[in-house]
Structure 1
């Protein structure tokens, strides 16, 4: 496990001053965020939230996948979620390549055939965002009282733009 020594050392330092114990796991600000796994995104900080305020689901492209919907249903019924933000971002790698290009790149990097793998590329980010917002709004297990909004996060300015 030597490959993880730096991270384990950082974890021990984190645990030495750990003050988040006893947390109940609910979204205290009533917020859930579906966003991309991109490391340029700090979901809590970009909305002025803190640990414990929100449920966060991340995946490539910030798409509302079946797994994201599962998390949102649980959040809405068990974890205090009242508002959902779907937040893809500018300059996302999932918008810059076709499925064929990603299969080629990944296959070459892995040294194996990747023609069978799907990556969920996004051909039209704003259209897909609107579709994803509608998926949440129309899901039979997500109450109509849940507020759902779509936003694009700008990785260069830190600003979020609402998408009607």
Structure 2
């Protein structure tokens, strides 16, 4: 049997990049806590560099990403763990401008995914956002009222502008 790494695959370019990355790897032995005490919940959009937008580096913060940057049950689970076990005392919730989750309805996305996949997607929830500021405020309330997230944790909401790089605070 031939070693799969010897044969080019759909991942070979990424594995080559990884070897280059590993040559200068500097996080060996790091304990995984958030050195800056920060957790960020943000969108999976590739225009967002969660650490860079607030001047941090790998190892400084815990990052949770999902479509729309919403505070889901999984995000809350991550924040509970981060605040109790990983040195987090500041939580940023950061959706962004021109988010695809704000430009379609659930039914439009279901139809589009059905057409593209050839499988009925009418049952799938995509968590579209009809009012980004209102949803952000709801998400902040979820974090602030969660019984397992300490009251001492600072919680802030910000909308990231993908065209300027600036964060706009939302109360």
Tell me, in whole angstroms, the C-alpha distance in 2 between the residues paired with 1:148 and 1:134. 9
1:44 aligned residue (28, 51, 57): 51
1:1-164 superposed matches below 5 A: 2-164=9-171
1:121 Cα offset (Å): 0.4
Tell which structure's C-alpha radius of gyration is larger: 2
Name the SS for the 2:65 alignment partner: strand
1:18 Cα offset (Å): 1.3
Tell me, in whole angstroms, the C-alpha distance in 1 between the residues paired with 2:66 and 2:47. 13
Number of paired residues?
164
Name the SS for the 1:3 alignment partner: coil
Name the SS for the 2:98 alignment partner: coil
For normalisation by structure 2, the TM-score amounts to 0.94
Question: CA-atom RMSD, angstroms?
Answer: 0.7
Tell me, in whole angstroms, the C-alpha distance in 2 between the residues paired with 1:80 and 1:18. 23
Tell me, in whole angstroms, the C-alpha distance in 2 between the residues paired with 1:15 and 1:68. 29
1:156 Cα offset (Å): 0.2
C-alpha distance after superposition, 1:70-114 (max 9, x if no partner)? 000000000000000000000000000000000011111111111
Detail structure 1 runs of 4+ shifted over 4 Å in the superposition: none
For normalisation by structure 1, the TM-score amounts to 0.98
